[in-house]
Structure 1
Amino acid sequence: MYHYLFSRLIPAFFICLLLTPVSNAQIIRCDGCQNTDSRVENSGYIKLDLNVDSVKLNIDNDFDNIRYYQNGDSIALSPGQHYFVLTWPFDEPAQYYHTLTEGKTTVLVHRFNKDREITGIVLDRNYAASDYFGSNLILQTDPDSEIWYKDNPVGKGFISLNAERGKQQFEIRNPDFGNRSITIDNRTDRISYHSLYTRPEKKFILLLSPLPGAAQLLKRQKKKALTIIGSALVSGGLLAFADRRYNNEVSKLNTIRSQYVGASTVERAERLGSQMEDQISVVDRSSLYRNLSLIPVISVLAWNLYDAFFSEPNGGYRKKIPLRAYIETNSVSGNLYPTVNLSISR
């Protein structure tokens, strides 16, 4: 029986292998690549053509084997499609898909932007930046905000540190906007960038300026905000009362007018005509009162808009300052905390 099974199954197995189609991988992204015949058997090669000396390269999301490579290096890989992530400390990571052919070298060409300012987009999840800065966590906040970690002040405005794995508790202390606590789940050795500003952005303030008191609340001007909100509510209430009163008086006038038109006797018509003249005077006074009630409403809204546009919070709005951080590692209470020197471009 076993002989019968093997005599039938083994040939069928090899036939299935021969008939299984081999898929042709498509290059999803291949900017500036070219093929040159290097006549290498049993492997394909990827050659780096860069405008920087070295990059940290992740191949096929193999996070345990991320290495530095020099410009011009050739890397032997199995034929087929591969995924490459090139990282350099001062520009965004570059991602490429390339299909390697056995016996040939594919040239991966990439040009990093050397003039780019360091930003959160550049730093976040950047392998090379993690090594350059010697850290896995970068926090950026307002220049006058003090950052506390483990009950110790570790910097102002911008810090870079090699934090422990797991949830880390930080506190941002600003002299004008108070304290703010934040928990960061630090799960990787790669840099994790966090923007922790406390001061409002001016464009966001202007966007909310039509709402009475909203801009003042965001600028932490609570007394002024409450005054504007209270004034808006009182003036709006008076206007609503005046408008309702005017509409009621107009409704009464229309009722009298319809009765006057349908009067069956001269005496009734004269009496209704007199009432209609008196009601017209009441409507005119109601209209004047309603129009006067618009003045405080317009005044409050104008005050609110003017203050939103021209009044700044204590210490000013959020300042977007381009930063280049140069880090020196220092020991603070047995832990490593980098000292950050900032080069400010105005």
Structure 2
Amino acid sequence: MAGGPSTSGAGAPHVPVLLRPLLKAVSPVSGTWIDGTFGAGGYARGLLEAGADRVIGIDRDPMALEMAAGWAGGYGDRLQVVQNNFANLDEVAAEHAPEGLDGVVLDLGVSSMQLDLAERGFSFMKDGPLDMRMSQEGPSAADLVNDLEEAELADIIYLYGEERASRRIAKFITRARADAPFETTLQLADLVERALGRGKPGQSHPATRTFQALRIAVNDEYGALAEGLMAAERALKPGGQLAVVSFHSIEDRMVKRFFQLRTGHSGNVNRYAPVQEAEEAAFTQNTKKGIGPDDQELEENPRSRSARLRVGIRTAKPAEDIDRAALGMPGAQAAGKNRGKRR
């Protein structure tokens, strides 16, 4: 959920999640920053108003650039917006900030403005085309639902949505699409509800995890996160800060694992294991625990309920690539291991 504009901006439709604790954690703010998930510009505005000399906003969604055109000019050359994927932020930095970055902010997931537009197909609350493409290019969610084999569809729903009933849902989908292809969000949401039942009052909609899984798969969000974390390591100066806001357990686990690996801590706490010499750290952290919303944040923005912020400070150690599997990124091997646990 990429952050919306700050409350200081005219006509700001959304409140950026965890903006206050983020700015506090990275204070004092100065130099050149990349907001890798620009969205409606909330973090970028917050950084500029907190003292950043310059912010480069990156977003894969062309709509974000169109929206920024009406207000970004007010910051002059202090704000530049680029259409790209934050997985490539080191390439963007090399072109626009060759001296290196003082900070990177990533706000993961789908943005509020994308969820609120039925025509983008992200939400099951409004009827629209079953799309979900952030870049508005490439295969859509409808393509996946209509074309994938049942087993592959079940794996995606299980791995990316953590939906234990993934095989049942995939079976219902493949049976239904034999009569007519899926084209709209409510068409799929109603099908999943029939497969799982309506659920108890107060519970999330039965299609929540399925829609999350398809969105992540369509946009390769976990792959982009893995690449983006390593790209930030390459682009940051010594002393530069990487701040990441995540919204569900897999994302947060990947970010946590990245910082464990890059701070020289493997995360292995087995007291019987042989003592291993600590590796030189590429990042340091002031706190190992993620920062969540306080009462004020929850009141202002209920969508922040599951948000977690993690911040690391870059050292002078040369950057290294990390195997995606080491970050706990879901994959086919995990699918086979856990297949029997689904219903």
TM (norm. structure 1) is 0.21
Tell me: higher relative CO, structure 1 or 2? Use CA pairs within 8 A at least 6 residues apart: 2
Query: By percentage of residues, which structure has more strand?
Result: 1
TM (norm. structure 2) is 0.21
